[in-house]
Amino acid sequence: MSRKELVAAATAAGIKKANNIKSTELEQMISKTKIVTMESVTQGGRRGRPVVTGSARQSRLAARAERAAMNGGIVKRGRPAVKKDEVVVEG
């Protein structure tokens, strides 16, 4: 295991300040705790904002997805452009 993998696995196992511990000691600590593989660390779950069903944000995202599906995947944002007609100044 490389140093980065060791630190990631130790952090996932709940070992505090894994960056400051020697690699050999990290290997021993990881072997004593539950076994954590690098795949489980990288595929741990979704990061970012949690999804709350029924929230206003989710309804906006659903409406945006619906508009995108109707327009072939394109959603235009902002105010529509108004074409300016030529103004004839009478003098």
> Given a cut of 60, is residue 6 above it in pLDDT?
yes
Prediction pTM value = 0.36
pLDDT digits (tens, 9 = 90+) for 11-69: 888 888 888 888 888 888 888 776 545 555 555 566 777 778 889 989 998 988 888 88
The Cα 19–Cα 9 span in angstroms is 11
Host H or E run for residue 11: helix 3-12
Mean pLDDT along residues 74-91: 71
Tell me the domain boundaries of the chain: 3-42
In this prediction, residue 87 carries a pLDDT of: 64
